[in-house]
Structure 1
Amino acid sequence: MKIAIAQLNYQVGNLDFNSQKIINTILTAKNQGVDLVIFSELSICGYIPYDLLNYNFFIDDCYKKLEEIKLQCTNIAAIVGLPTKNLKNTGKKLYNSAAFLYDGEIQKVIHKTLIPNFDIINEDKYFKENQDFSIINFKNKKIALTIAEDLWDEEKIHGFFENKIMFKNAPMEYLNKFNPDFIVNIAAQPFAYNQTDCKKDFIYKNAKKYSIPIININQVGANTELIYEGASIVVDKTGNTIISSNRFKEDLKIFEFDEITNTSQTNNHNRNSDDKYESIYSALILGIKDFFEKSNLKKAVVGLSGGLDSAVVVALLVNALGKENVDVLLLPTKYSSQHSIDDSLEMVKRCGIKHHIVDIEELRKMYLKTMEKVFENTKEDITEENIQARIRGSVLMAYSNKFGNILLNTSNKSEAAVGYSTMYGDMNGALAVIGDLYKSEVYELADYINQNFNNMIPQNIIDKIPSAELRPNQKDSDSLPDYEILDKILFLYIEQNLSEEEIIKKGLPQEIVHRIIRLVNSSEFKRFQMPPVLKISRKSFGDGRKMPLVGRF
């Protein structure tokens, strides 16, 4: 049996585009003598369509596309993902399903058993869990078809409850009773640099546990904040990788079934742990590209301050969209240092991008003059600093409105965590490109970019002491601890869900820990209005971390 795994980039809700892509791939595979071609989870509608799933017409349209696709399945079989209706009167209205197509007909429909409800994935809102188990018989082989978490039944909860297993059931325990010849697992698993290998470990472990080859097909592409790396794999019954698909690219891998039944003696697990910043860079590039292409957008604009964050975002945009599609504005006041302006101009030169210098000092003075009587008998404070950030935000949005360039946000995760940003100022933007990177990680990413892309970022920008330059001689360290300490505290609190006392026991200063946690908790109102964040870690802001907006904790 010749098998193809089709790792494709879908558009959420674009049923015509997705179904045509599936049909074209089926025809390509058929021309190469493939017997079975496998597509990823919810491939017809894209993952995940959220509340589009509440519309009856949308579900009907998905099924109509399946009817069109099945007609192409003559002399070839296909496995395709889509939402289907629960025809019973109990439970959720839908199933997350996979259809097995052959001889121009829908031969079988398998439903997902383990429905996730964690972090940014809330399938439980829409889908009913499967309770009936069966296998697919095809060309004298028995196929156990699973969907995503169905194969990750031993996944554990992170943080304080990490000894708890997330799911109660193990679908493979039921499917294994049918003595399948191999397992197919179709998935749409969002990328997280600190989670990718964990998912693969479940595949290796289950292959060894049940002594069955596993074919895993994962979606590739980005849908708003969610990025999918692909990296589909085929492993033999000993858990060794036989086939690996590209990461962050579409791919079609074709192989003979016999290739995965011959047991390998090598210990090939194809891990990605050593490539953290290569993976993060590739993920962000894909996230930017798909955000623009799938939204039918072309050009971007960024405020280039001479600081690290905006420089890294500009470098990513240039590499993702092309230098001709990236404009930058330099927006100095009297507090902007000459070296920041010079460093920004050097960045412009290295990237070959269009730029404008818009001096906002007169605007700053006009704001203060306008508010002079209102602010009478008060001291200058953060209010006057924030006015500068808001002027910059307004000017950037004016440029965006006039020329159609989409403004991108440049805030990092450390700033977002402690509220070191200005609402309606530097928080403006359609997408937070590096909003899931702590400041210390931004430095590492900058080094990776310079090592691999001809020193796009001037070294002065990387080496200088971080400053918002909103008052004389200002430094980030005036308001925050060193980023090395700050980011450790933030990681333990946000990603590991540790308490203040537990973090202090890790050897971090009590006073600083207390202040940082207070800042994180009191800044939720700002994060509530952040643009969507490209997710590259296990725990990102936005839907990935929902905290009370009005609360006391």
Structure 2
Amino acid sequence: MRIALIQTNPVVGDVQGNAARVEAAVRRAAVLSADLCLTTEMVLTGYPPRDLLLYSDFARRAAEGARDLAARLADCPPVLLGCIEENASGRGKPLYNAALLLSKGRVAASYRKSLLPSYDVFDETRYFEAYPGLNILELGGRRLAVTICEDIWNDAGFFEHPLYERDPVAEIGRAGVDALLNLSASPFTMGKHQAREAMLSAIARNLGVPVLYANQVGGNDDLLFDGRSCAAAPDGRIFARASAFAEDLLLVDLADLSGEVREPDLSDLEEVWQGLVTGLGDYARKTCFSSAVLGLSGGIDSALTAVIAAQALGPDNVLGVCMPSPYSSRGSVDDSLELARRLGIRTLTMPIADLMRAFDAALAPAFAGRAPDVTEENIQARIRGNLLMALSNKFGSLLLTTGNKSELAVGYCTIYGDMSGGLAVLADVPKTMVYRLSDHVNERVGGPIPREIIEKPPSAELRPGQKDQDSLPPYDVLDAILALHVESGLSVDQIAARGFDAATVARVARLVASAEFKRRQAPPGLKVTQRAFGTGWRMPLACRLG
């Protein structure tokens, strides 16, 4: 039996467009003599559709789209189509997360998801009813277990602390099957791919059957999907793998499991680079932007953002804006222009000294008797934000913010200023990773970032001689504390017990908590770490700890 794993990049809500992508891939699989096609989770609606699922018309359109697609594929091999399905029982949630079997021109059967994740970015119990049974497809003399994403992420043979009472993998083992199939939309985070393949290998060994895994690819809102659909042999060997961050079709022959994936997998930095480029490109395309604008400060964050934008959208579609103030160094402007020259992006220089004086004059009566402080510094950032938003509005370009995760975590950013924009490309990339990623990009794509930008001490340049380290701990210390606090959920005492200065840890934790109101008003950011300040971060604004 030859099974085609169809790895596509769906657009949420675009039922017709997603159906067309699936149809084209199925027809390619038919030419390759596939006996069955396996799509990814909810490919017809796009994943995740979130609260679109609360609208009954959305479910109706999905059902109609599935029936229409089945009719168009009547002359093709059967397809297991990721979709939603209405729950007609009258009990429980109104929908199932399902795999629909399209065969001989009709929707012939449905197979429903059992385990519904409700953690991090997932909220499936909000929409779906859990299916209590097993899904077994009998086709071509073989018994195939059909699972959907989370259904295989609770295997007691792999996970030390399973999240759910049920273990569908163990139930499948007792039922006896010839192969396990999984339709997935597993979001990307750095290093997750290795853990995912280790889990698939363990399941294949434990069951003694091949495991075939089809995963979504592309970016939807803040989530990235890396694809890398694959197949594991009964001995646990990964013998086939599809492309990373690109649409693909992987044909697996259950009669021949002798293949072996020989090419090395992506490094952590390379997969983050490819993920950010994919995420920005898809976000722009799926929200109907063809160009982007961003501020160029001469710093490493804006430089790396510009490189990603040029790669994702093409250099002709990127505008970098220099907005020097009286406190900006000459080198910052020159470095920005050199970066733009190397990238081939357009530039615009708009000095803000006159606008700063106009603000000072307008506020002078109200501020009489008060010394300049962070208020005036923030005004500079807000002037720049207003200029960039004006350019975005006038030219219909997507405004990219350039701040990193370290700054967003502790509030070292200005609301309505440098936080203004439509997408925060580096919002989940810590400052120390920004440096490592910049070096990686320079090696990979011909050195677009000048060494002067990488080597200069980071500074917002909002007052004479300002440096980030005047206000923050060294970034290597800050990022280590943030990783333990934000991503691992450790308390101040637990982090201090690992050798960090207790006062520094307590201060960082206070800054994280007090910056929550800023993050609530920040643009979406592309998720690349285990826990990002996005849809999976749900902290209260009004609270008092300790």
Deviation at 1:121, TM superposition (A): 1.0
- The residue aligned with 2:319 is 327
Structure 1 residues 294, 134: closer, same or farther in 2, change over 3 A? closer
> Is 1:136 paired with 2:137?
yes
Q: Which amino acid aligns with 2:65?
A: K
- Are the structure 2 counterparts of residues 92 and 270 from structure 1 closer, same or farther at C-alpha, using a change threshold of 3 Å? farther
1:13 and 2:10 are equivalent in the alignment? no
Residue in structure 2 matching 1:372, options 359, 364, 378: 364
Counterpart of 2:128 in structure 1 is 127
What's 2:216 paired with? Answer: 219
Cα 1:362–1:137 change in 2 (3 A) is same
Which residue of 2 is the match for residue 62 of structure 1?
62
Amino acid at match of 1:484: D
8 Å contact from structure 1 (residues 386, 425) kept in 2: yes
> How many Å separate the matches in 2 of 1:269 and 1:88?
48
Deviation of 1:269 (Å) = 10
Change (3 A) 1:75 1:434: closer
Mapped contact 1:410–1:433 kept (Cα < 8 A): yes
Question: Is the 2:45–2:62 contact (alpha carbons within 8 Å) kept by the matching residues of 1?
Answer: yes
Distance 2:493 2:70 in 1: 58
Question: C-alpha distance in 2, partners of 1:212/1:271?
Answer: 25
On the 8 A contact 1:70/1:101 being kept in 2, the answer is yes
> In 2, are the aligned partners of 1:96 and 1:127 still within 8 Å (CA)?
yes
Q: C-alpha separation between the residues in 2 aligned to 1:182 and 1:455?
A: 47
Q: Paired residue for 1:111?
A: 112
1:313 to 280, 286, 305: 305
1:162-241 to 2 correspondences below 5 Å? 164-241=161-238
Question: Aligned AA for 2:242?
Answer: S
Structure 2 equivalent of residue 88 of structure 1: 89
SS of the aligned residue for 1:428 comes to coil
Equivalent of residue 270 in structure 2, options 264, 278, 296: 278
Q: Which residue of 2 aligns with 1:514?
A: 506
> For residues 215 and 52 of structure 1, do their structure 2 counterparts lie closer, same or farther at Cα, with a shift above 3 Å needed?
same
Unmatched tracts of structure 1, length 5 or more: 157-161
Looking at structure 2, the residues matched to 22 and 195 of structure 1 have their Cα atoms a distance apart, in angstroms, of 26
Question: Per-residue displacement from partner, 1:228-252 (whole Å, max 9, x unpaired)?
Answer: 0000001111110111100000001
Please say if residues 241 and 269 of structure 1, whose CA atoms lie closer than 8 Å, have aligned partners that are also in contact: no
Is the CA contact 1:240–1:269 (under 8 Å) kept in the aligned structure 2?
no
1:292, distance to aligned residue in structure 2 (A): 1.1
- Cα contact 1:241–1:270 (8 A) shared by 2: no
Partner Cα separation in structure 2 for residue 303 and residue 547 of structure 1: 30
Question: Runs of 4 or more off by more than 3 Å in structure 1?
Answer: 268-272
- Please state whether the residue corresponding to 1:371 is helix, strand or coil: helix
**Runs of 5+ in structure 2 lacking a partner?**
none
Contact preservation (8 Å) 2:113, 2:131: yes
Does the Cα contact within 8 Å between 1:188 and 1:219 map onto a contact in 2?
yes
Structure 1 3/154 Cα, relative in aligned 2: closer, same or farther at 3 Å? Answer: closer
**AA of the residue aligned to 2:471:** S
Structure-2 change in CA distance of 1:175 and 1:202 (3 Å): same
Question: Which residue identity does 1:94 align to in structure 2?
Answer: L
CA distance in 2, matches of 1:24, 1:459: 46
Specify the SS of the correspondent of 1:118: coil
When residues 180 and 269 of structure 1 are mapped into structure 2, their CA distance, relative to the original with a 3 A threshold, is farther
The aligned counterpart of 1:30 is 30
* 1:153 corresponds to: 154
| Alpha-carbon separation, structure 2, partners of 1:21 and 1:114 | 27
1:372 is paired with a residue whose SS is: helix
Report what 2:432 is aligned to.
Answer: 440
**Paired AA for residue 224 in structure 1:** D
Q: How big is the shift at 1:338?
A: 0.8
Given that residues 242 and 259 in structure 1 are in contact (C-alpha distance below 8 angstroms), is that contact kept between their aligned partners in structure 2?
Answer: no
CA drift of 1:173 comes to 2.1
Change (3 A) 1:193 1:4: same
Q: CA deviation at 1:118?
A: 0.5
Equivalent residues, number: 544
Per-residue CA distance 1:8-51 (angstroms, 9 max, x = gap): 11100000101111112222222222111110000110101111
**Matched-pair contact (CA < 8 Å) for 1:26–1:73:** no
2:526 equivalent in structure 1: 534
Give the match for residue 76 of structure 1: 77
Native 8 Å contact 1:119 1:545 kept in 2? yes
Contact 2:197–2:238 (CA under 8 A) maintained in structure 1 = no
Matched residue type, 2:122? I
Displacement of 1:333 after TM fit?
Answer: 0.8
- How does 1:287-366 map onto structure 2 within 5 Å? 287-366=279-358
Q: 1:118 to 1:99 in 2, by over 3 A?
A: same
Asked if 1:255 is matched to 2:255, the reply is: no
1:337-370 CA deviation, whole Å, 9 max, x = no partner? 1111111111111112111110100100110111
Residues 23 and 69, structure 1, Cα contact 8 Å, conserved in 2: yes
Distance in 2 (CA, whole Å) between partners of 1:88 and 1:177 is 28
SS at structure 2 position matched to 1:117: coil
Deviations 1:39-75 (A, max 9, x none): 0000110101111111111111111111112221435
Cross-structure match for 1:4: 4
Q: TM-score, normalised by structure 1?
A: 0.96
Please give the alpha-carbon distance, in whole angstroms, between the structure 2 residues aligned to 1:483 and 1:198.
28
Q: Deviations over 1:143-192 (max 9, x none)?
A: 00000011111489xxxxx9742122111222223311000001000000
Q: Secondary structure at the match of 2:367?
A: coil
SS at match of 1:334: coil
Match of 2:51 in 1: 51
- What is the CA–CA distance in structure 1 between the aligned matches of 2:292 and 2:104, rounded to whole Å? 48
- Per-residue deviation at 1:542? 1.8
1:417 to 409, 414, 437: 409
- Return the letter of the residue paired with 1:306: G
Counterpart CA distance in 2 for 1:270 and 1:169 is 36
Distance in 2, matches of 1:382 and 1:330, equals: 22
Corresponding letter in the other structure for 2:70: K
Equivalence for 2:397: 405
- C-alpha separation between the residues in 2 aligned to 1:387 and 1:134? 60
**1-structure distance, mates of 2:528, 2:515:** 22
State the Cα deviation string for residues 243-297 of structure 1 (Å, max 9, x = none): 110000000112322123x5x8x8x79885x601100000000001101111121
- Distance, in Å, in 2 between the alignment partners of 1:459 and 1:515 is 33
Aligned AA for 1:55? Y
- Residue 538 of structure 1: how far off its partner (Å): 1.1
Structure 2 residue identity aligned to 1:42 = M
Shift of 1:104: 2.2
Structure 2: distance between partners of 1:118 and 1:360 = 45
SS, match of residue 537 in structure 1: coil
Tell me how large the CA RMSD over aligned residues is. Answer: 1.7
Task: Using the aligned pairs only, state the percent identity.
Answer: 37
Structure 1 Cα separation of the partners of residues 434 and 425 of structure 2:
11
Q: Deviations over 1:349-392 (max 9, x none)?
A: 11121111101001001101110010011111100100000000
How has the CA–CA distance of structure 1 residues 270 and 346 changed in structure 2, closer, same or farther, with 3 Å as cutoff?
A: closer
Matched to 1:11, the amino acid is: V
If the length of structure 2 is used for normalisation, what is the TM-score? 0.97
User: Aligned equivalents of 1:186 and 1:209: distance in 2?
Assistant: 20
SS at the partner of 1:109?
A: strand
